[in-house]
Amino acid sequence: MLRILVADDHELTRFSLKAALRNQPGIELVGLAVNGSEAVEMVQRYRPDVVILDLQMPVMDGMSAASEIKRQVPHVQILAYSSLEDPKVEPLLREATITELCRKDTPTADLIAKVRQLGLPLVEYPVF
């Protein structure tokens, strides 16, 4: 079961993502956070595999939350979810703080496909 946490300060976005993810086989929505600080706390509590993280939120923005989440739980995959082009995202992608960026105008089916792709377990190959 792929465990997902959604963090977005817009109620409509949170509940739209909840509705989209709720009926997906193999996906369990473990929490809905309203800001970056709450997302960090919920990641510690629920240990999701993937976090869908809005970049612009109150209390703690998504970029700060992503850095803190990866510091505490390095294996979690973070899908930055934003409606804005932000030049500060590229360095975070290079530093592997954010796994991938997804615009909010991405079709729901594509978003779910990205979440599933991020949640795929790493394939371990035998060493010869």
* Mean of pLDDT values over 74-101: 74
Distance (Å, whole) CA 120 – CA 59: 31
Which segments of the chain are extended strands (E)?
A: 2-7, 27-33, 50-54, 77-82, 100-103
pLDDT for residue 92 is more than 90: no
Q: Mean pLDDT for the chain?
A: 85
Q: Which of 38-42, 62-66, 89-93 has the lowest mean pLDDT?
A: 89-93
CA-to-CA dists, residue 34 to 22, 40, 121, 122, angstroms: 18, 11, 28, 30
pLDDT for residue 68 is more than 50: yes
pLDDT for residue 126 is more than 60: no
* Mean of pLDDT values over 106-121: 89
Q: Tokens 């803190």 sit at which residue?
A: 68
Q: Give the tens place of pLDDT for each residue, 15-28.
A: 999 999 998 999 99
